[in-house]
Chain A
Amino acid sequence: MGRGLRERIDSLVRWEVGLGFALVAVIVFGIIASSQFLTSFNLFYLNLSIGEIAIMTLPMTLLIVTGEIDLSVASILGMSSALLGDLYSHGWSMPLVIVVVLAVGAVAGWVNGFLVTRVGLPSLAVTIGTLTLYRGIAVVILGPSTISTFPARYTNVGVTTLPHTGGYLSYSVGIFIVLAVAFAVALHATAFGRSLFVMGANEEAARYAGIRVKRTKLTLFVVSGMVCALAGVLYTFRLSTAVQNNGIGLELNVVTIVLLGGVSIFGGRGTIVGVVLATAVFAGLQNALFLTNFQQSAMGVVTGTLLLLSVLIPNLSAFAERGRDLLRRRQLGAARGARAREAAP
């Protein structure tokens, strides 16, 4: 038992060390690719390009650790953005609009969680449905119109640097860092966090151990919805534009980063540190490719491949084991066959 645990910790450490090396490699690649890579201007741009995605990876990490998934995150972002634009253009005051948008995000997450935990549907199917539904609502709210008359006071949040950070950090990444610390503490240093791992490893056992599985998962979906709504607000301020297709397809980036961070898609395993490292690797790679004039529309090829690799690589050791197993069995069979032949005559 103790040995199994140590092995598991070892494998996690190895994954995160691997990510550390990957990060160094990406930085070296960036420096070689362009002399612009390490300038504060470029690093700030890098911040902007990853901020909202990074924020959304945090609740996704908790959900995947419990064995669930939320594919509707980018659609909640889009719906929040559309709602923000629409309410503001109808003369609502911005602070009120933000509160309403966050509340609607929480409701959107609650709907996901309700269908998963109370109706008993698989989260994959539910969130594919709400991916379509919430994006559809964004389309209904805004139609073909674009709203970009936001006051500079707010849009500045999207495009200026966080004070006292030497011009490197954006507000979105600042928020990400604060949230990452909060999520890391919640996941790794509280009984609540431990219960998430138990749920992901064995839901039945968790229930028998007295963990309120359904209520906890429902809470996580609500948190996910609210955090994605926050990402939607930041996204809108950064582009100072609300359109119905804001953030379309970002769920791929979010899922990719979380799985690249060493979180097991089957639940029960993962760390926030890994996800934060993976966020840096992903952002660095995206930025370095951008500097080499890589066609941005084909970025999906890179992201998709990264996603596949991050799930395939942990399986490699299993492959090797299975191969060794097969070999051993074949040798055993041969030995037994030889013995049988000896005994037969």
Chain B
Amino acid sequence: MTGIADAPTRASAVDDANARRLIDLVFRARELGIVAVLALLVLVTALIEPRFVDLTNVQFILVDATIFALLALGETMVVLTRNVDLSIGSVLGLSAFLSADLFGHHHGISIVLVFVVGSAIGVACGLVNGFLTVVGRVPSLVVTLAMLYILRGIDTLVVGGGQVVASSLPNSFIDIPRRTVLGLPLLAIVVAVVIGAGAYYLRSFRSGRELYAIGSNPDAARLAGIPASRRVFTAFVISGGIAGIAGVLYAARYGTIDSTAGSGYELQVIAAVVVGGVAIFGGSGSAVGAAFGALLLNTILSALYVLGVSPFWNQAIAGGLLLGAIALDRGISLQLAAALRRRRTHLGA
């Protein structure tokens, strides 16, 4: 009796393990694909224009990609929960101006304190986003679209016609993105470690896994006892905080900050995240993939620049890539679902 009752369970356990292996394989292939495209791109561009792989140019690309990769980590956490944060560009702009402005008003202020202020500004914005989304039950698209313009408006009011210029910033601050270790920008190494930690958290911690569960099926996640509201709220706060820190880094990188700093970044970051294999419907993808997406996007733009393609193409290419990536992911997930179904019927027969 027990044997007969057990048989289907055991078969379905094997089936499940197989299915999981297949899903894992597909997603690893998706991330490896990005790395392969990146390698191919660098190779081809370097063959045409050797200047592209100059140490200084590589450092340049890495530092620029670093800011996007960092933003992509926060955006990934939000997108995983089937939400979206469109306000990060404006948060970055506000934080960049307010934190860099501190140097002008308080001479000798510690850089650590400036970073703390920058991230606090971001966290405050994230709190508002999270509160309105979770407690106000307003779709995150509407909340963060409104916040995009509200924060940019506040930024314009605060900045007025003025701007922060590089000469008002201390050298030790400007040098942050320029410091290198063995030829690699220190900033890129630090951010890589942060992204690694973020990816590990999402992959292996209970609360990290819960973000995926919420994105896969919000109702089921709630019924399974996952504190969905709290997790989504936290994701928005983290995304805001990261955008705040990215604002300070932006200030250090560019030196000149006016009221348009970081405008449009949200679109590039979402493009990077989606190109990196994070499903826009939530529930799948990794922070490492998103970071590679950011690196790929920056490398493409830089390669085009080196190859003499007008930078006017940048936006169109970012948009095209975003559309291509979501269409590709849709195709992959349909194929995957079909493959899993075939397998199940095969085993069932």
Contacts and interface: CB of A to CB of B under 8 A. Distances in A.
Nearest to A308: B146
A27 interface: no
Nearest to A124: B141
B132 A119 contact: no
A312 B312 contact: no
A143 interface: yes
Given A297-B156, A298-B153, A121 B318 contact: no
A134 B322 CA distance: 13
Nearest to A255: B145
Contact of B150 (A126, A143, A300): A300
A300 B330 CA distance: 35
A252 B142 CA distance: 9
B48 to A, nearest CB: 22
B138 A312 contact: yes
B136 to A, nearest CB: 5
Interface string A132-152: 111111011001100000000
A278 to B, nearest CB: 15
A202 interface: no
Interface in A102-138: 115, 119-122, 124-126, 128-137
Contacts of B317: 136
A48 to B, nearest CB: 22
Contact of B145 (A115, A125, A307): A307
Contacts of A122: 280-281
A125 B153 contact: no
A259 interface: yes
Nearest to A251: B145
Contact of A126 (B137, B315, B323): B323
A305 B150 contact: yes
A126 B326 contact: yes
A295 B132 contact: no
Contact of A137 (B146, B152, B316): B316
A340 B326 CA distance: 56
With most chain A CB atoms within 10 A of its CB, the pick from B139, B313, B318, B319 is B319
Contacts of A301: 149-150, 153-154, 157
Interface in B241-296: 259, 267, 270-271, 274, 280-281
B146 A133 contact: no
B320 interface: yes
A304 B150 contact: yes
Given A140-B312, A304-B150, A311 B142 contact: yes
A130 B319 contact: yes
Contacts of A132: 267, 271, 315-316, 318-319, 322
Contacts of B330: 119-121
B338 to A, nearest CB: 14
A131 B149 contact: no
A20 interface: no
A122 B132 CA distance: 22
Contact of A300 (B143, B149, B314): B149
Interface string B73-109: 0000000000010000000000000000000000000
Given A130-B323, A298-B156, A305-B146, A135 B136 contact: no
Contacts of A298: 153-154, 156-157
B157 A129 contact: no
B310 interface: yes
Contacts of A136: 313-320
Nearest to B333: A120
B157 A115 contact: no
A49 interface: no
Contact of A119 (B84, B142, B327): B327
A119 B281 CA distance: 14
B148 interface: yes
B147 interface: yes
Interface in A297-320: 297-305, 307-308, 311-312, 315, 318
A298 to B, nearest CB: 4
A19 B132 CA distance: 23
Given A131-B319, A307-B146, A125 B326 contact: yes
A312 B326 contact: no
Nearest to B132: A308
Contact of B156 (A124, A131, A295): A295
Nearest to A111: B323
B142 A304 contact: no
A174 interface: no
A133 B317 CA distance: 7
A265 B142 contact: yes
Contacts of A193: none
Given A133-B319, A133-B320, A140 B142 contact: no
Contact of A297 (B145, B153, B274, B316): B153
A9 to B, nearest CB: 23
A136 to B, nearest CB: 3
Contact of B326 (A121, A131, A308, A311): A121
Given A115-B323, A131-B319, A315 B156 contact: no
B316 A139 contact: yes
Given A124-B84, A301-B150, A143 B326 contact: no
Interface in B290-349: 310, 312-320, 322-323, 326-327, 330, 334
A302 B146 CA distance: 10
Contacts of A137: 316
16 contacts: A120-B334, A124-B84, A128-B270, A129-B322, A130-B323, A132-B319, A132-B322, A133-B316, A143-B312, A298-B157, A303-B149, A304-B146, A304-B153, A307-B146, A311-B136, A311-B138
Interface of B: 84, 132, 136-139, 141-143, 145-150, 152-154, 156-157, 259, 267, 270-271, 274, 280-281, 310, 312-320, 322-323, 326-327, 330, 334
Given A119-B327, A308-B150, 9 more contacts: A121-B327, A124-B84, A132-B319, A134-B319, A139-B315, A252-B146, A256-B146, A266-B139, A308-B138
